[in-house]
């Protein structure tokens, strides 16, 4: 039995977890890991998808599915001196609702859409604190104010769908701290959020940790994010702890090659290598201590050939109010830019800035309410559907979510061959299949992928399939809508390298939409900053990052995580 150290709130010892894949077989997800979370401290658990970090946290909460989960003998998780695996289910539920709380990655999936946020926070208070309805409402208002929700009196009766992503995450945090827990587990709480909202959430968690004297177990795949909040860092890979130590030591002098790889894979503001390093560059027997990477120059030049000229683009949505009235919402206001052949325009801004609407409107997935988009002298927005048909293959889009944008009933082969058949690319299906195999090779996937379904692949592999599908059309313009935002840093580096290789080879032009300013700095020649539907600043990427002119741009840049 693990000896209890009163300085330690959580002690994990030799934790081994497997999942049954069928009646006879199982896969080991966590392989005998041990770590501690001291009282009144923040510990970061860092690793890529599949490293076992989220599984470990769910084991602490008792949220793993009993039917398929095997907790191996000898595994121990002690909280405040109590062995959690020995507790009855009722006691475990009471403990994990009141003394241990968790913030999940996706707030919209964790909040019930049919109940108001006030009811959902109040339910926690009524169940665990024994409050009546009036007491719970007063405490809920105080919690909403504490986590920075504007006008709590109005928001308490709002539904989750009526709030922004950042506000939803704040509601989740309010719910988690409602009973003033001793341990707060934050599982990727900022992954899908804009850089400014991300900074606010990180500062909020850090402030609450100090105010309530609680411990925080912060789970993320981004080492750069935890440098400003964590006291200790634990790096996991393939279910094992690869490195553990004080945050300053792990960032300043990482001992494990995998830790060094994670730190170097993320694009840096002061470097732009020709190719981003990936994990394998730092692992293996023949890797040198330091990689010297040739740098790439970016920017526009007077002689650049214009491919797409957008002038005064506008898009409004009309929201019904009552039976007869409509209210206009101007999502895009008077946006103009020129995209050169073989160049990348980065489009940045917070959620609601209009950047995705610009991309969808250019592809005619939204109907523009004003302006023009001249492609080889012809206005894409004004031509008939029949005339536009021949242009569809020349301007394509990679969507943010590869899970939702691939047909789950089609094999990868069908996904690739269908658009070629529709647009009559290739003389026959045999030629199209051969082209599909070549595209799979081009995006780094094996031939066997042709006969498999999307659900059999990881997120990074699905994004590669989505890119391959776009390439079947041999497009000249590719709109990348947050296409790497949800990927691990190493997979993100692989996809960015692939996009750069394709641009070098085919002279493709990209409209790269993202809220990750480090990634945009790496890949963009020009950067367009949007705020509330308008362009507030546009410049070559080096110039914009070196000398931002607009107050909003400066705020975005100031919010970029700088690491330790």
Helix H or strand E encompassing 11: strand 8-20
Domain count across the chain: 2
Closest CA to 9 of 225, 240, 192, 212: 212
pLDDT digits (tens), the chain, 564 positions: 556 688 899 999 999 999 998 888 899 999 999 999 999 999 999 988 778 998 999 999 999 998 999 999 999 999 999 999 999 988 998 898 789 999 987 776 789 999 999 999 999 999 889 999 999 999 999 999 999 888 899 899 999 888 877 788 889 999 999 998 999 999 888 776 777 888 888 888 999 999 999 999 999 887 778 877 899 999 999 999 999 999 999 988 999 989 988 888 888 888 888 888 888 887 765 455 555 678 888 998 888 999 999 999 999 988 777 777 888 889 999 999 999 999 999 999 987 788 999 999 999 999 999 999 999 889 999 999 999 988 988 999 988 777 778 999 999 999 999 999 988 888 899 999 999 999 898 888 889 999 999 888 877 788 889 888 988 888 999 999 888 876 778 778 888 988 898 899 889 999 999 888 889 999 999 999 999 999 999 999 999 999 999 999 999 998 887 654
Helix H or strand E encompassing 420: helix 412-422
Residues 155, 196, single domain; the answer is: no
Query: Tell me, what CATH number does 56's domain have?
Result: 3.40.50.300
In this structure, what token pair is assigned to residue 226? 């935890």
Tell me the C-alpha distance between 534 and 540, whole Å. 18
Q: Is residue 514 part of a domain?
A: no
Q: CB–CB of 424/472 below 8 Å?
A: no
Q: Are strands 215-220 and 42-46 parallel, antiparallel or unpaired?
A: parallel
Q: Which residue has the tokens 């000898």?
A: 74
**What 3-state class would DSSP assign to 119?**
helix
Total number of residues shown for the chain: 564
Task: Point out the domain boundary residue: 155, 178, 201.
Answer: 178
CA atoms within 13 A on the CB side of 368: 24
Q: DSSP labels for 303-316?
A: TPPEEEEEEEEEEE
Residues 62, 204, single domain; the answer is: yes
Residue-wise burial string across 318-334, b where 16 or more C-beta atoms lie within 10 A, e elsewhere = eeeeeeeeeeeebbbbe
Residues 223, 141, single domain; the answer is: no
Tell me the C-alpha distance between 69 and 333, whole Å. 52
Residues 231, 137, single domain; the answer is: no
**What 3-state class would DSSP assign to 233?**
strand
Backbone angles phi, psi at 14, to 5 degrees: 50, 45
Q: Is residue 343 part of a domain?
A: no
Q: Is residue 360 part of a domain?
A: no
Residues 1, 150, single domain; the answer is: no
- Sequence-ordered strand ranges (E) for 60-152: 69-71, 76-79, 82-83, 100-103
CA atoms within 13 A on the CB side of 26: 15
Tell me the C-alpha distance between 563 and 383, whole Å. 49
Task: Point out the domain boundary residue: 178, 195, 221.
Answer: 178
Q: CB–CB of 143/179 below 8 Å?
A: no
Contacts 24+ apart (CB under 8 A), 523-526: 523/344, 523/346, 523/496, 523/499, 524/298, 524/344, 524/345, 524/346, 525/298, 525/299, 525/300, 525/340, 525/343, 525/344, 525/345, 526/299, 526/300, 526/337, 526/343, 526/344, 526/345, 526/346
User: Cα-Cα-Cα-Cα dihedral of 224, 226, 229, 233, to 10°?
Assistant: -130
Q: Domain range holding 127?
A: 110-178
Tell me the C-alpha distance between 164 and 193, whole Å. 10
Backbone angles phi, psi at 347, to 5 degrees: -120, 115
Q: Is residue 16 part of a domain?
A: yes
Q: CB–CB of 533/367 below 8 Å?
A: no
Task: Point out the domain boundary residue: 135, 163, 178.
Answer: 178
In this structure, what token pair is assigned to residue 541? 């990427």
Q: Is residue 91 part of a domain?
A: yes
Q: Tell me how many helices (H) and strands (E) the chain has.
A: 21, 21
Residues 4, 92, single domain; the answer is: yes
Q: Is residue 237 part of a domain?
A: yes
What radius of gyration, in Å, describes the C-alpha atoms of the chain?
Answer: 25
Residues 168, 22, single domain; the answer is: no
Residues 173, 206, single domain; the answer is: no
Residues 190, 86, single domain; the answer is: yes
Q: Is residue 79 part of a domain?
A: yes
Q: Which residue has the tokens 């650049």?
A: 304
Q: Is residue 557 part of a domain?
A: no
pLDDT for residue 100: 95
Residues 153, 166, single domain; the answer is: yes
Tell me the C-alpha distance between 208 and 339, whole Å. 45
**Burial category of 20 from C-beta neighbours within 10 Å (exposed 0-12, middle 13-18, buried 19 and up):** middle
- Sequence-ordered strand ranges (E) for 435-556: 477-481, 509-514, 526-531, 534-540
Residues 196, 71, single domain; the answer is: yes
Residues 132, 235, single domain; the answer is: no
Q: Which residue has the tokens 């398929």?
A: 68
């Amino acid at each position: 039995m693990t000896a209890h150290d009163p300085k330690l709130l959580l002690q994990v010892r030799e934790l081994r977890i497997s999942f049954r894949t069928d009646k006879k077989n199982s896969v080991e997800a966590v392989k005998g890991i041990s770590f501690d979370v001291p009282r009144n401290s923040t510990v970061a658990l860092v690793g890529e998808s599949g490293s076992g970090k989220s599984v470990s946290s769910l084991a602490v909460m008792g949220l793993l599915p009993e039917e398929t989960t095997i907790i191996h003998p000898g595994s121990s998780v002690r909280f405040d001196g109590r062995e959690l695996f020995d507790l009855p289910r009722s006691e475990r539920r009471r403990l994990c609702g009141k003394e241990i709380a968790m913030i999940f990655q996706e707030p919209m999936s964790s909040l019930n859409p049919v109940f108001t946020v006030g009811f959902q926070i109040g339910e926690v208070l009524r169940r665990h604190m024994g409050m009546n309805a009036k007491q719970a409402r007063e405490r809920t208002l105080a919690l909403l104010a504490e986590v920075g929700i504007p006008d709590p009196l109005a928001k308490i009766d709002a539904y989750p769908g009526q709030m922004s992503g950042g506000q939803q995450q704040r509601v989740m945090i309010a719910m988690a701290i409602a009973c003033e827990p001793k341990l707060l587990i934050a599982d990727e709480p900022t992954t899908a959020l804009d850089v400014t909202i991300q900074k606010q959430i990180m500062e909020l968690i850090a402030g609450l940790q100090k105010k309530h004297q609680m411990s925080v177990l912060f789970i993320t795949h981004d080492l750069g994010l935890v440098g400003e909040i964590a006291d200790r860092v634990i790096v996991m890979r393939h279910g094992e702890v690869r490195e553990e130590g004080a945050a300053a030591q792990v960032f300043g002098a990482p001992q494990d090659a995998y830790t060094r790889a994670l730190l170097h894979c993320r694009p840096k503001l002061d470097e732009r290598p020709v190719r981003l390093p990936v994990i394998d560059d730092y692992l293996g027997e023949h890797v040198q201590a330091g990689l010297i990477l040739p740098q790439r120059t970016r920017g526009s030049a007077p002689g650049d050939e214009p491919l797409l000229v957008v002038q005064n683009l506008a898009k409004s949505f009309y929201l019904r109010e009552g039976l007869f009235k409509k209210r206009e919402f101007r999502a895009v206001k008077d946006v103009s830019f020129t995209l050169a052949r073989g160049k990348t325009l980065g489009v940045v801004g917070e959620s609601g800035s209009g950047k995705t609407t610009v991309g969808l409107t250019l592809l005619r997935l939204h109907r523009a309410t004003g302006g023009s988009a001249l492609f080889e002298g012809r206005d894409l927005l004004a031509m008939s559907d029949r005339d536009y048909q021949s242009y569809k293959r020349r301007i394509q889009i990679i969507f943010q979510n590869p899970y939702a944008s691939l047909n789950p009933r089609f094999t990868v082969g069908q996904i690739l061959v269908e658009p070629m058949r529709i647009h009559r690319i290739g003389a026959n299906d045999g030629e199209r299949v051969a082209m599909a195999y070549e595209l799979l090779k081009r995006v780094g996937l094996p031939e066997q992928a042709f006969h498999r379904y999307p659900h059999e692949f990881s997120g990074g592999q699905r994004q590669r399939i989505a890119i391959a599908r776009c390439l079947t059309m041999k497009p000249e313009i590719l709109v990348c809508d947050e296409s790497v935002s949800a990927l691990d840093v190493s997979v993100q580096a692989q996809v960015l390298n692939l996009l750069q290789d394709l641009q070098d080879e085919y002279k493709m032009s990209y409209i790269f939409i993202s809220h990750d300013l480090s990634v945009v700095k790496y890949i963009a020649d020009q950067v367009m900053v949007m705020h509330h539907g308008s362009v507030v600043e546009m410049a070559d990427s080096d110039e914009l990052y070196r000398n931002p002119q607009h107050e909003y741009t400066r705020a975005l840049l100031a919010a970029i995580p700088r690491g330790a």
